[in-house]
């Protein structure tokens, strides 16, 4: 029998898609979606809306992403047959010392299954911090594709940060889950654990708000000085000084040397659709591997059935194994180099899909006192074992699981897909893409269709809502675990999708169904 790890939840949750002729913005937080929708309403393009939305998320959902993180963006521009990737992942500091991360001999507690490092130095604290690329990536996208001024795009985030983050029940849950680690950093504790405890909304009444250190001041300065200031100006000097005081390796030189990368992405064909996946050290190459397997193993019917999900599981397991073999064998793809995803489609048909992250919830749990910036724990992306392609090393880019994807379907619809959720991202994006391309689903139906999760070579996890026939097929062929798709704990990735239809001239968005805050905004 399949292992049911939790009692199935007895509610049915639906979150309707939003369609608009003026474009849509899908994010994991309503306030950020509203910011992007207002940019579209005021004439901004999809990249303008994505930049403003990305910055707003730092003020309303700081445990997921922010100025101290990094990410990847795909831009499929209207009116031309070209798609661009803006890569701004984190990089290990140049002065990093692999000897600072000795193994304990125990199993680790991180999301990637690495062996444990002494004092969890690769997971939290100043030695876990990699060079953040978020601001460089947004600045590069703005210079290449934006139509508004930088200051105008930062302005909404300044307003939100000045107002203070609303601590609704979902925020309280996020803070409480990380409270022991947040308590170890004085500025994080002072911000998120006032009085020693997470704040909570009263049983009746308004949610409290908390000021995120000096983040509002930093955003105002960034708006006026421009994105380069984060790397070579006063913000950079403040970051470097705080890191020296904390004992971290991130330096002014690391910041000054950082550059985001822009490259054109070539499509691959899949059943009459064209797919553009994030290149390089992302899950994009593995997504292409999954699709190449499904092209021969999946025989789509009228709707997904047990054989469909078995084909998904086999393709995901095989591609995952190939990815891990590549890491072990030193392939070029893996050698170089808690999350939020947003998608935007504007009235002209430009589609942006952007995944950004601090990696773990609240990143390294380090808030810089001079700027209020929460820093990533990007060093956790590296394998702490020496002598491997993805091992910790100075100046190195780690392998990540982010998978922003653009697909032009055979019927002409243009979609931007992506998700948050670590290694669960790839399975979610692959299945959403298949729901749209293989079964002709609407965004609404695709978002509500049950999924499986396969993020390793062994266990297949299945949504408890799957039909008994599908579960029986999976149980006969795989080690199967059945989990509900709930709010917390989150057993599956948190995807969203935007789809532009050239025939109707409208855009449709769907946000992560099980999130209480995920929302689609429209002008």
Find, among 412, 403, 497, the residue nearest to 449 by Cα. 497
Structure tokens at 77: 């521009």
| φ/ψ of residue 272, rounded to 5 | 85, -5
Distance, in Å, from the CA atom of 237 to the CA atom of 373, rounded to the nearest integer, reads 13
CA distance between the termini of the chain: 49
What Å distances lie between residue 184 and 125, 191, 260, 296, CA to CA? 9, 12, 32, 52
Find, among 328, 333, 336, the residue nearest to 385 by Cα. 328
For residues 274 and 268, is the Cβ–Cβ distance under 8 A? yes
Structure tokens at 69: 């993180």
Three-state secondary structure of 258-273: CCCEEEECCCEEECCE
What Å distances lie between residue 447 and 39, 53, 188, 390, CA to CA? 25, 22, 35, 33
Catalytic-role residue among 19, 191, 339, 355: 339
Report, in angstroms and rounded to the nearest whole number, the Rg of the chain calculated over CA atoms: 22
For residues 271 and 400, is the Cβ–Cβ distance under 8 A? no
**H or E element: which one contains 23?**
strand 23-27
User: Cβ–Cβ contacts within 10 Å for residue 510, how many?
Assistant: 27
Find, among 489, 409, 418, the residue nearest to 27 by Cα. 418
Residue 469 CB-density burial (10 A; 0-12 exposed, 13-18 middle, 19+ buried): exposed
* H-helix segments, 440-508: 443-448, 468-477
Distance, in Å, from the CA atom of 31 to the CA atom of 305, rounded to the nearest integer, reads 37
Q: What is the largest CA-CA distance in the chain?
A: 61
Per DSSP, what are the bridge partners of residue 486? none
Helix (H, G, I), strand (E, B) or coil at 519: strand
339 counts as catalytic: yes
For residues 442 and 432, is the Cβ–Cβ distance under 8 A? no
Distance, in Å, from the CA atom of 409 to the CA atom of 353, rounded to the nearest integer, reads 16
Distance, in Å, from the CA atom of 97 to the CA atom of 241, rounded to the nearest integer, reads 19
Residue 269 CB-density burial (10 A; 0-12 exposed, 13-18 middle, 19+ buried): exposed
Distance, in Å, from the CA atom of 485 to the CA atom of 183, rounded to the nearest integer, reads 30
Residues forming the active site: 339
């Amino acid at each position: 029998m399949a292992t049911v790890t939790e009692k199935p939840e007895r509610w049915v949750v639906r979150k309707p898609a939003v369609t608009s002729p003026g474009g849509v913005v899908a994010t994991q937080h309503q306030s950020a979606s509203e910011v992007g929708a207002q940019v579209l309403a005021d004439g901004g393009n999809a990249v303008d809306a994505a930049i403003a939305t990305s910055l707003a998320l730092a003020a309303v959902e700081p445990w997921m992403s922010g100025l101290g993180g990094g990410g990847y963006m795909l831009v499929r521009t209207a009116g031309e047959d070209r798609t661009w990737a803006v890569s701004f992942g984190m990089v290990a500091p140049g002065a990093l010392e692999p000897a600072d991360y000795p193994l304990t001999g125990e199993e680790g507690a991180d999301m990637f299954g690495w062996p444990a490092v002494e004092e969890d130095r690769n997971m939290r604290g100043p030695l876990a911090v990699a060079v953040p690329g978020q601001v460089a990536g947004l600045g590069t996208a703005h210079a290449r594709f934006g139509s508004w001024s930088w200051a105008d795009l930062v302005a909404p985030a300044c307003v939100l940060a000045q107002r203070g983050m609303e601590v609704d029940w979902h925020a309280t849950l996020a803070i409480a889950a990380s409270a022991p680690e947040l308590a170890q950093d004085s500025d994080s504790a002072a911000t998120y654990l006032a009085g020693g405890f997470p704040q909570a909304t009263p049983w009746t009444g308004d949610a409290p708000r908390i000021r995120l250190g000096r983040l509002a001041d930093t955003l105002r300065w960034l708006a006026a000085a421009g994105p380069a200031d984060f790397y070579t100006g006063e913000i950079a000097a403040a970051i470097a000084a705080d890191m020296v005081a904390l004992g971290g390796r991130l330096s002014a030189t690391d910041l000054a040397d950082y550059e985001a990368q822009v490259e054109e992405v070539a499509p691959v064909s899949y059943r009459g659709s064209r797919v553009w996946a994030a290149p390089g050290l992302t899950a994009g190459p593995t997504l292409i591997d999954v699709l190449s397997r499904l092209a021969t193993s999946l025989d789509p019917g009228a709707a997904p059935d047990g054989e469909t999900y078995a084909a998904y599981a086999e393709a995901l397991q095989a591609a995952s194994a190939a990815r891990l073999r590549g890491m072990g064998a030193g392939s070029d793809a893996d050698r170089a180099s808690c999350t939020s995803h947003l998608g935007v489609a504007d009235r002209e048909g430009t589609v942006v899909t952007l995944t950004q992250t601090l990696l773990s919830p609240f990143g390294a749990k380090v808030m810089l006192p001079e700027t209020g910036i929460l820093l990533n724990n990007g060093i956790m992306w590296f394998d702490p074992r020496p002598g491997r392609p993805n091992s910790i090393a100075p100046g190195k880019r780690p392998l990540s699981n982010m998978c922003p994807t653009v697909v032009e379907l055979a019927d002409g619809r243009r979609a931007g897909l992506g998700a948050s959720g670590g290694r669960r991202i790839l399975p979610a994006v692959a299945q959403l893409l298949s729901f749209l391309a293989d079964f002709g689903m609407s965004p609404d139906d695709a978002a509500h269709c049950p999924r499986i999760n396969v993020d390793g070579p062994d266990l297949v996890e299945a949504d408890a809502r799957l039909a008994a026939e599908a579960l029986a097929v999976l149980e006969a062929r795989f080690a199967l675990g059945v989990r509900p798709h709930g709010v917390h704990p989150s057993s599956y990735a948190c995807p969203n999708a935007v789809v532009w239809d050239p025939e109707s001239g409208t855009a449709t968005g769907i946000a992560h169904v099980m999130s209480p805050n995920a929302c689609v905004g429209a002008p």
